[in-house]
Amino acid sequence: MIIGCSAKEAWVSGMMKMLSKYLEGEVFPALARHYKGADEKLEVSSSWLHYVDLMTTYDMRMRTLATTGTPIKGPFYEFEGVPGRMSLLSVFDEHPDWLQIWAKIELKDAEDKLKLEIDLERSWSIVSREKNQLANAEETESFILSSRLDSKAPLIADSVVRISWTMIERALSLPSKLMRIQFIRSSATLFLNHFFISLLQRCRDVDITSAVLEDDELLTVIGSVNAAKYCESVLQQWNDDISFLEMGVANDNQHRDASFFEDEIMFLVKLGTDSLVEIMSGILLQFDALCWKYIQNIEHLGEENIASNDKILEERNLSISPEFMYALEMLRDRMEIFRLNLNSQDFVDLWRSIADGLDHFIFSSISASNVRFSVMGVHQFKVDMGALLLIFSPFCSRPEAFFPCISDSLKLLALGFEEVNHLLQVFQKERSQ
* Nearest residue to 228 via CA among 269, 170, 180: 269
| C-alpha dist (Å) from residue 140 to 48, 130, 341, 395 | 51, 12, 17, 11
Q: What is the pLDDT of residue 411?
A: 85
What is the tens place of the pLDDT at every residue in 383-401? 999 999 999 999 999 999 9
Whether residues 25 and 150 fall in one domain: no
Instruction: Determine the 3-state secondary structure of 154 from DSSP.
Output: coil
Q: What is the pLDDT of residue 28?
A: 93
pLDDT category at 146 given cuts 50, 70, 90 is low
Q: Is the pLDDT of residue 354 over 80?
A: yes
Q: What element of type H or E holds 341?
A: helix 322-341
Q: Is the pLDDT of residue 2 over 80?
A: no
Q: Is the pLDDT of residue 8 over 80?
A: no
Whether residues 178 and 121 fall in one domain: yes
Q: Is residue 90 included in any domain, yes or no?
A: no
Q: What is the pLDDT of residue 22?
A: 92
Q: Based on the structure, what is the number of domains in the chain?
A: 3
Q: Domain boundary residue among 34, 54, 85?
A: 85
Whether residues 113 and 253 fall in one domain: yes
Domain of 16, in residue numbers = 1-85
CB 224 within 8 A of CB 152: no
Q: Is residue 380 included in any domain, yes or no?
A: yes
Helix axis angle for 42-67 and 96-118, nearest 10°, is 110
Instruction: Determine the 3-state secondary structure of 95 from DSSP.
Output: coil
Residue 125 half-sphere exposure, CB side, CA atoms within 13 Å? 7
Q: Is residue 281 included in any domain, yes or no?
A: no
Instruction: Determine the 3-state secondary structure of 87 from DSSP.
Output: coil
Question: For 77-102, what is the mean pLDDT?
Answer: 74
Range in 59-68, 81-90, 197-206, 307-316 with the lowest mean pLDDT: 307-316
Q: What is the pLDDT of residue 16?
A: 84
Q: How far is it, in rounded angstroms, from Cα 15 to Cα 21?
A: 10
* Nearest residue to 412 via CA among 369, 382, 368, 376: 382
Residues 356, 362, 368, 371: what is their CA dihedral angle, to the nearest 10 degrees? -140
Whether residues 100 and 234 fall in one domain: yes
Q: Is the pLDDT of residue 60 over 80?
A: yes
Whether residues 54 and 191 fall in one domain: no
Higher pLDDT, 409 or 359: 359
Question: For 361-379, what is the mean pLDDT?
Answer: 77
* Nearest residue to 49 via CA among 109, 2, 91, 92: 109
Q: Domain boundary residue among 275, 302, 321?
A: 275
Whether residues 44 and 116 fall in one domain: no
Q: What is the pLDDT of residue 47?
A: 93
Residues 6 or more apart from 198 whose CB is under 8 A from it? 118
Residues 207, 208, 214, 219: what is their CA dihedral angle, to the nearest 10 degrees? 120
Q: What percent of the chain has pLDDT over 70?
A: 79
Q: How far is it, in rounded angstroms, from Cα 366 to Cα 428?
A: 23
What is the tens place of the pLDDT at every residue in 157-206? 999 999 999 999 999 999 889 999 999 999 999 999 999 999 999 999 99
Whether residues 240 and 353 fall in one domain: no
Q: How far is it, in rounded angstroms, from Cα 126 to Cα 314?
A: 46
- Specify the pTM: 0.84
Q: What percent of the chain has pLDDT over 90?
A: 50
* Nearest residue to 155 via CA among 187, 189, 132: 132
Q: Is residue 280 included in any domain, yes or no?
A: no
* Nearest residue to 185 via CA among 174, 171, 197: 171
Whether residues 232 and 319 fall in one domain: no
Whether residues 257 and 299 fall in one domain: no
Higher pLDDT, 68 or 126: 126
What average pLDDT is seen over the chain?
83
Q: Is the pLDDT of residue 136 over 60?
A: no
Q: Is residue 139 included in any domain, yes or no?
A: no
Higher pLDDT, 8 or 110: 110
The single-letter code of the amino acid at 316 is R
Whether residues 99 and 38 fall in one domain: no
Whether residues 118 and 208 fall in one domain: yes
Q: Is residue 302 included in any domain, yes or no?
A: yes
Q: What is the pLDDT of residue 360?
A: 95
Q: Is residue 254 included in any domain, yes or no?
A: yes
Q: Domain boundary residue among 275, 304, 322?
A: 275
Whether residues 80 and 124 fall in one domain: no
Q: Is the pLDDT of residue 63 over 90?
A: no
Q: What is the pLDDT of residue 82?
A: 41
What is the tens place of the pLDDT at every residue in 246-295? 887 776 655 555 789 999 999 999 999 999 999 999 999 999 999 988 88
Q: What is the pLDDT of residue 12?
A: 74
Q: Is residue 398 included in any domain, yes or no?
A: yes
